[in-house]
Chain A
Amino acid sequence: MSAVPLLEATGLTRRYAMRRGLFGRPVEVRAVDGVSLALERGRTLGLVGESGCGKSTTGRLVLGLERPDAGGVAFEGRPMPAPGTPAWRALRARMQMVFQDPLGALDRRMTIGAQIAEPLEIHSIGGRPERVAQLLRDVGLRPDQAGRYPHELSGGQRQRAVLARALATEPALLVCDEPISALDVSIQAQVMNLLVELQARLGTAILFVSHDLRAVRQVSHRVAVMYLGRIVEEGEPDAVLHDPAHPYAQALVSAIPHPGRRQRRILLQGDPPNPADRPSGCAFHPRCPVATTLCAREDPVLKPRPGDGRHVACHVAQGEVPARRAA
């Protein structure tokens, strides 16, 4: 493994101006607030969190589809060129994105064969018909399905077609934003298997953005849990799932419904806070069952925990304060 990771993001920050109501004045919202992450070649980083936590925005920032207001992205050790420049477009062939809704991502009026060939044309890669047939086989479709239109395929087949198109340029990095959440359970399994298999074969690095911890464990080598624009915990999937350190990660894990086992859940009070109205100190403290006065005051930093070195942003998990007894 080379010393330089394929992808390295440092301190990514993205702010939006959000207007409340028709006449309200704009409020600044930090969708992503200082996110740093690294991804090695051929590995998968799972990014989990609930809606509005900034995981999708992080995915777009990493690809340069959006410009960060602060922080930066390095690809193969070099800073990401500005979006729209020829250098960026050349790089884009090596980084592809897969979205949640395969029907929305495909053009209804074009055959999937033509859509898979399109990136080959854009990036002037030759040998098209054979390449398209190979790509279709790679994702488990038949080459004769190249002539089909998106509506003639099932949901799972469409997501395979989207993957084939994304893989056409042999990208080193694939950002998958909720790639399975629009699919049925049995189809989700097909797509997860495919991702793992393709990665083993092609060595693609994957940033897997999902709200589904089960899916993240199935495909990822590392997992980062996001809350309100920040990573609050990061580690090996099994470590985070079996022994979550951050109280939010603990609640998230305990909320996973599990057949055949009835355990007590940690129930969080209230809704996720509005990003426009970010609580002081640790953003999670108003919902946190073990929050202390320090938590309301001081923002915890993501750093290795003494002992096992788990990355966690929590005063309590870091042992900086004794936990308040949960009521």
Chain B
Amino acid sequence: MSEPLIALRGLTVDFDGAPALRGIDLAVAPGEALGLVGESGCGKSVTWLAALGLLPGRARVGGSVRLGGEELLGAPPALLDRVRGGRVAMIFQDPASSLNPVHRIGRQVAEALGLHRGLRGAAARAEARRLLDQVGIPDAGRRLDAYPHELSGGQSQRVMIAMALAGRPELLVADEPTTALDVTIQAQILDLLGALRRETGMALVLISHDLGVVAETCERVAVMYAGRIVEEAPVGRLFDRPTHPYTQGLLGALPPLDGPRRPLAAIPGGVPEPGAMPPGCAFAPRCPQAMAACAAGVPEAIAVEPGHAAACLRAARALVPA
């Protein structure tokens, strides 16, 4: 990979002693679309909240997050405020409650424009209007004066995206941006994100529990389980040749759209509690291919092919001819 835009190294997060992230290594190249997939509690959102210093005070964050040449972890608030909404913007799952209910839409977009581009007054308003237009809000000029409760969920997410674009970000982190939306609206938002990426050349990190959403939008996918990345690969490769048993399990659990209907290959059991991580590989207790060695130590990510890595002992063994 060329010089990464942002690189996380050994990122860890503890909440009151319970580990939420157990060492994340992840890099995003300029202009790239990376999907981050996993089930609830796997740490996919926490990863990016931690990277941008958005976690509550009781979270203990360790490791390194470098944006260009700058270290973000432990950086002074002024630097973080410049980065957030500037070089890196973020949008969230529930658009309706992510907008401040007492401020007009225009003011909320203009606030970001003032912070990152120094625009005020009429100039900010005109630019806010252009942004609303760009994200496909009909009648943008009048919508500037609307309050969030007057918008539908899909429109609220468009406003969030407009706000994110205000700082001309190099990276947009979208945390489950369509989970709270209806399927047809989800399609609209994903389409919009793709179009904006083509127009602006920004990189995208799409956090989702939905493999399908990631597959359609991203070029590269990282799968997370229990606070670690278990597999990382180009999107086509991941779906064609999933290597980690957890990735295989996720794909098998997805009901197919065609072919005969048979029982789904459900993953037995449930995700481990953060306070009660199994020793070694966290997936081993649910894994159909687990061996005795899996409980011995946390497996490191192994490159099974250039650009395709899996943190699984089986994958590692397959590489070494017996």
B215/A259 in contact, CB under 8 A: yes
The chain B residue with its CB closest to the CB of A268 is B184
The chain A residue with its CB closest to the CB of B261 is A218
**Which residue of A184, A211, A242 has the most chain B CB atoms within 10 A of its CB atom?**
A184
- Nearest 10 pairs of A and B residues by beta carbon: A257-B212, A189-B253, A189-B266, A218-B255, A259-B215, A50-B182, A154-B270, A186-B267, A255-B187, A184-B39
Q: How far is A215 from B215 in the complex, measured between Cα atoms in Å? A: 19
A157/B257 in contact, CB under 8 A: no
User: Which chain B residues in 22-37 approach chain A with CB under 8 Å?
Assistant: none
Given contacts A186-B39, A218-B255, A267-B188, contact A211 B270 (CB under 8 A): no
7 A-B contacts (beta carbon < 8 Å): A184-B40, A189-B253, A192-B255, A217-B255, A238-B258, A255-B186, A257-B186
Given contacts A184-B209, A189-B267, A217-B261, contact A267 B191 (CB under 8 A): yes
* Contacting residues, chain A, for B138 (C-beta < 8 A): 270
Kindly state whether residue B254 has any CB partner on chain A within 8 Å.
yes
A259/B254 in contact, CB under 8 A: yes
* Contacting residues, chain A, for B209 (C-beta < 8 A): 184-185
Given contacts A50-B183, A155-B270, A259-B239, contact A189 B213 (CB under 8 A): no
Interface residues of B (CB under 8 A from A): 39-40, 138, 152, 154-155, 182-188, 190-191, 209-213, 215-216, 236, 239-240, 249-258, 261, 263-268, 270-271
Kindly state whether residue A108 has any CB partner on chain B within 8 Å.
no
Q: How far is A257 from B254 in the complex, measured between Cα atoms in Å? A: 11
Q: How far is A197 from B155 in the complex, measured between Cα atoms in Å? A: 41
B257/A259 in contact, CB under 8 A: no
* Contacting residues, chain A, for B251 (C-beta < 8 A): 259
State how many angstroms separate the Cβ of B187 from the closest Cβ of chain A. Answer: 4
B239/A193 in contact, CB under 8 A: no
The one of A50, A260, A272 in contact with B239, judged by C-beta atoms closer than 8 angstroms, is A260
Given contacts A189-B265, A217-B255, contact A252 B211 (CB under 8 A): no
A189/B264 in contact, CB under 8 A: yes
A251/B184 in contact, CB under 8 A: yes
* Contacting residues, chain B, for A241 (C-beta < 8 A): 257-258
Kindly state whether residue A188 has any CB partner on chain B within 8 Å.
yes
The chain B residue with its CB closest to the CB of A184 is B39
B183/A193 in contact, CB under 8 A: no
Interface size class of A (residues with CB under 8 A): 35 or more
User: Which chain A residues in 134-191 approach chain B with CB under 8 Å?
Assistant: 154-157, 184-190
Interface residues of A (CB under 8 A from B): 50-51, 154-157, 184-190, 192-193, 196-197, 211, 213-215, 217-218, 238, 241-242, 251-252, 254-260, 262, 265, 267-268, 270-272
* Contacting residues, chain B, for A197 (C-beta < 8 A): 263
The chain A residue with its CB closest to the CB of B188 is A267
Given contacts A185-B209, A267-B191, contact A211 B240 (CB under 8 A): no
A190/B266 in contact, CB under 8 A: yes
Given contacts A186-B253, A214-B256, A267-B187, 11 further A-B contacts (CB under 8 A): A184-B39, A184-B271, A185-B39, A185-B253, A189-B253, A192-B264, A197-B263, A252-B184, A259-B239, A260-B240, A268-B187
B264/A271 in contact, CB under 8 A: no
The chain A residue with its CB closest to the CB of B240 is A260
The chain A residue with its CB closest to the CB of B155 is A271
A262/B187 in contact, CB under 8 A: no
The one of B154, B215, B236 in contact with A258, judged by C-beta atoms closer than 8 angstroms, is B215
* Contacting residues, chain B, for A262 (C-beta < 8 A): 216
B250/A260 in contact, CB under 8 A: no
A185/B216 in contact, CB under 8 A: no
State how many angstroms separate the Cβ of B65 from the closest Cβ of chain A. Answer: 27
Q: How far is A185 from B261 in the complex, measured between Cα atoms in Å? A: 18
B211/A157 in contact, CB under 8 A: no
Q: How far is A255 from B213 in the complex, measured between Cα atoms in Å? A: 10
A257/B258 in contact, CB under 8 A: no
The chain B residue with its CB closest to the CB of A193 is B263
**Which residue of B40, B183, B263, B270 has the most chain A CB atoms within 10 A of its CB atom?**
B183
A185/B254 in contact, CB under 8 A: yes
Q: How far is A185 from B270 in the complex, measured between Cα atoms in Å? A: 11
* Contacting residues, chain A, for B210 (C-beta < 8 A): 185, 257
A242/B183 in contact, CB under 8 A: no
Q: How far is A214 from B251 in the complex, measured between Cα atoms in Å? A: 13
* Contacting residues, chain A, for B252 (C-beta < 8 A): 189
State how many angstroms separate the Cβ of A53 from the closest Cβ of chain B. Answer: 9
**Which residue of B254, B257, B265 has the most chain A CB atoms within 10 A of its CB atom?**
B257
A257/B39 in contact, CB under 8 A: no
B216/A242 in contact, CB under 8 A: no
* Contacting residues, chain B, for A196 (C-beta < 8 A): 263
B39/A50 in contact, CB under 8 A: no
B266/A256 in contact, CB under 8 A: no
* Contacting residues, chain A, for B212 (C-beta < 8 A): 256-259
* Contacting residues, chain B, for A188 (C-beta < 8 A): 253
Q: How far is A227 from B265 in the complex, measured between Cα atoms in Å? A: 32
The chain A residue with its CB closest to the CB of B249 is A186
